[in-house]
Chain A
Amino acid sequence: MRRRCAAALPLLAIALLGAALLVVGLPGSAPFATAAPDPTGLTAASTQPRLSTSVGQHLDYRVSIVNDGHSATGQLLAHLNIASVTGGTYVDPEDWSAERSRFLPALAPGAAVALTWDVQAVSPGTFALYVVVLPAGMAATPDQRLVVSTPTRVEVAARRTLNAGGALPVAVAVPVLLGLVALAGRGRNRARLRR
């Protein structure tokens, strides 16, 4: 029994090694792997692999789309997406960027276009920002592949902006003081009229 187990060990090791190689080799299984080039030669990549910010802050997310192919593309649509990579955080991309879709003109071979999105960090957590490029409008065909940019990891720190203690005295004192000044002025006017 023990000998049979010993004979099975190399097989188990090979199986484990094969499985590990298979997992590592699968496209996209590694976190933040570079995007595979599209057969048409269109690539999208961000120059910012990592961004850090805090809740409420705005950041510029830049992506470059290049046509490395030999033929011109049709009109393109670049669409920004955001996902929470740690889970448990509700993400509504509309809250993060008001204008996520950008229509691009056809790109000639070798042409590139740089796009910048204004993104506001709405929730704390770790997120991935990425752009999907697809044919725009009627140019889309069912067999056409989407081009996805390299994702940018965004770390958003929580931030508390409540400041009730500081605001309350000012919010109360200013109208009260101005009210007293107005009342004093009115009283002085009445006294002058009586005289």
Chain B
Amino acid sequence: MMSTAATADRTARPALSRHGWLVIAGRDCRELWAGGRGPVLLVGYSVLLSCVSYLAATNQVLNFLEQREAVNLTLQVALAVGVLVALVCAADAISGERERGTLEALLLTPVSRRGVVAGKLVAALSLWLACWAVSLPYLWVLGRGVAVVAESVLLSLGIGTATALGLVEVGLLISALSDSNRASLALSVFVLIALSAPTQLPTGLANTAVGGALIRLNPVGSALHYVSAVLVRGRGASRDLSYLAAPVLTAVLAGAVLLVAAPRIVTLGAGGRR
């Protein structure tokens, strides 16, 4: 009897270790969505999008805007804030568990550290995908008159997901390396604000070599620039593809760092301290 149980345990452990990320993802998603944090964030997100889209559709001052620009404005806000929400969720993922004292129990499970990180990545990305789904009615109502609904939906899904993936990975790295949850959240929000800042450069400055490089190297700025180029200026999807290098590279590089460093940095102490 004893040996049967031990054999079952031995076979179950590698299986859990292999699919452990799914268990972690399921647990974190349940906590996020059934626990009520996700839905509340989505309500706030939808209120913001309602204000922006109603303003873009009705405000007399904005009336000179071409309708494509109204779609673009709403899409940019949806993308930037959706990514911010997912980043904040990722920034809380490891440092939050550490601070709440639940990380020790998580590390005692047979799930590998990489599995823990992958599960938390999926949970944070689920928040981005929910934000994207919430943005759909707004994009439809603004874009149906100028036939850019399908274009804007595909752009937001593809580019938004690539940007969110990269920044969520960065958020997880920050979270694993931070001493406290507050520091992790503050640093993550600072990173996003710093990355969004070049989008506010005046056009003249953005067209200089330095301004252009700042936008191209920046995953958020270049993603927003690409969306504008396709939606507003009507450029072909392949013409400004080089702008997508920054979000894709961020996702690949941060993912690789996370994959390699996860066993060392997902520990009870911040940054690999045991």
Residues of A whose CB lies within 8 Å of any CB of B are: 54-58, 98-99, 118, 122-123, 159-164, 166-168, 170-175, 178-179, 181-182, 185-186, 189
Within 8 A of A (CB), among B10-51: 33-36, 39-40, 42-43, 46-47, 49-51
CA distance A178 to B49 in the complex (A): 13
CA distance A163 to B207 in the complex (A): 33
Asked if B39 and A160 sit within 8 Å, CB to CB, the answer is no
Known contacts A57-B66, A163-B58, A189-B35; is-contact A98 B50 (Cβ 8 Å):
no
Report chain B residues within 8 Å CB of A171. 50-51, 53-54, 138
Choose from B40, B65, B204 the contact partner of A99 (Cβ within 8 Å). Answer: B204
Known contacts A55-B64, A178-B42, A182-B40; is-contact A167 B53 (Cβ 8 Å):
yes
Report chain A residues within 8 Å CB of B144. 166
The list of the 5 closest CB pairs from A to B, nearest first, reads: A56-B66, A98-B203, A182-B39, A167-B57, A171-B50
Residue of A nearest to B41 (CB): A182
Residue of A nearest to B70 (CB): A161
Asked if B40 and A174 sit within 8 Å, CB to CB, the answer is no
Q: Within 8 Å of chain A (Cβ to Cβ): is B134?
A: yes
Residue of A nearest to B66 (CB): A56
Asked if A175 and B50 sit within 8 Å, CB to CB, the answer is yes
Asked if B64 and A122 sit within 8 Å, CB to CB, the answer is yes
Asked if A163 and B57 sit within 8 Å, CB to CB, the answer is yes
CA distance A166 to B142 in the complex (A): 8
CA distance A189 to B232 in the complex (A): 45
Asked if B53 and A56 sit within 8 Å, CB to CB, the answer is no
What's the minimum C-beta distance from B104 to chain A, rounded to whole angstroms? Answer: 24
CA distance A166 to B125 in the complex (A): 31
CA distance A99 to B142 in the complex (A): 29
Q: Within 8 Å of chain A (Cβ to Cβ): is B100?
A: no
Residue of A nearest to B141 (CB): A170
Asked if A174 and B134 sit within 8 Å, CB to CB, the answer is yes
Residues of B whose CB lies within 8 Å of any CB of A are: 33-36, 39-40, 42-43, 46-47, 49-51, 53-54, 56-58, 60, 63-67, 69-70, 134, 137-138, 140-142, 144-145, 202-204, 207, 232-234
Asked if A175 and B54 sit within 8 Å, CB to CB, the answer is no
Report chain A residues within 8 Å CB of B134. 174, 178
Residue of A nearest to B146 (CB): A161
CA distance A168 to B42 in the complex (A): 19
Residue of B nearest to A60 (CB): B233
What's the minimum C-beta distance from A116 to chain B, rounded to whole angstroms? Answer: 12
Asked if A99 and B36 sit within 8 Å, CB to CB, the answer is no
Residue of B nearest to A161 (CB): B67
Residue of A nearest to B142 (CB): A167
Task: Supply 8 further A-B pairs (C-beta < 8 A) apart from A56-B69, A178-B46.
Answer: A55-B64, A159-B66, A163-B67, A167-B53, A167-B57, A167-B141, A170-B53, A171-B50
Asked if A182 and B138 sit within 8 Å, CB to CB, the answer is no
CA distance A162 to B159 in the complex (A): 28
Can you identify 20 A-B contacts, CB atoms within 8 angstroms?
Answer: A55-B66, A56-B65, A56-B66, A160-B63, A161-B57, A162-B63, A163-B142, A170-B53, A170-B137, A170-B141, A171-B138, A172-B50, A175-B47, A175-B50, A182-B40, A182-B43, A185-B33, A185-B34, A185-B39, A189-B35
CA distance A179 to B54 in the complex (A): 19
Report chain A residues within 8 Å CB of B43. 175, 178-179, 182
Asked if B36 and A174 sit within 8 Å, CB to CB, the answer is no
Asked if B54 and A168 sit within 8 Å, CB to CB, the answer is yes
Residue of B nearest to A169 (CB): B141
What's the minimum C-beta distance from B189 to chain A, rounded to whole angstroms? Answer: 23
